[in-house]
Structure 1
Amino acid sequence: MRRHEFEPGKLVVGLVLLGGCFAYLAMAHGTWRFPSYAVLPALGIGFCVAGLVSSLAFAVRRHRTRGGDAAEPVDRALR
């Protein structure tokens, strides 16, 4: 099987959606009571966090592919 890159944003989205599903299931079962409109803002905040995590992961990945700092090519030229 081919390996793929780890994408933490997709992990966060999955966890947010699972949390929302479990909240509604707990409410349907009667174990937990909360206003049903409270889950939607929580899901929205979770999606915003997932977007932030995705953008940070992209920035880190792009920084690693460039090879590090801008000062590094100067050090190579001096050798």
Structure 2
Amino acid sequence: MRRHEFQPGRLLAGLVLLAAAVLYLLDATGGADLPWFLVLPMAAGGLALAALVGMVTYAVRRDRRDRISESSDR
């Protein structure tokens, strides 16, 4: 199996959506009494944070790739 790059933005998005699903499950089974307007902003904020992490990761990798190609051109 080929190895792939670690993508922290996707990991964060998955964890946020998993947490939202667990909260909805707890609410449905009676384990917690959460208003709907609490979980939706949490999921939206988590996805926005995951997008930011993904953009930062991309920028860092692009800068690193550019530095490597500059040093090899010399």
Q: TM-score, normalised by structure 2?
A: 0.86
Partner residue in 2 for 1:27 = 27
Task: Specify the code of the residue in structure 1 equivalent to 2:43.
Answer: L
Q: Flag structure 1 segments of 5+ consecutive residues without an equivalent.
A: none
Q: Is 1:43 aligned to residue 72 of structure 2?
A: no
Letter in 2 for 1:16: V
Report the counterpart of residue 18 of structure 1 in structure 2.
18
What is the identity, as a one-letter code, of the residue corresponding to 2:47? Answer: F
User: Which 5+ residue runs of structure 2 have no aligned equivalent?
Assistant: none
Query: Amino acid of the residue matched to residue 5 of structure 2?
Result: E
Q: Which residue of 2 aligns with 1:58?
A: 58
Query: 1:4 matched to which residue of 2?
Result: 4
| Partner SS state of residue 67, structure 1 | helix
Larger Rg: 1
* TM-score between both structures, scaled by the size of structure 1: 0.81
Identity within the alignment, % = 45
Report which of the two has the higher share of helix: 2
Cα drift, residue 25 of structure 1:
0.5
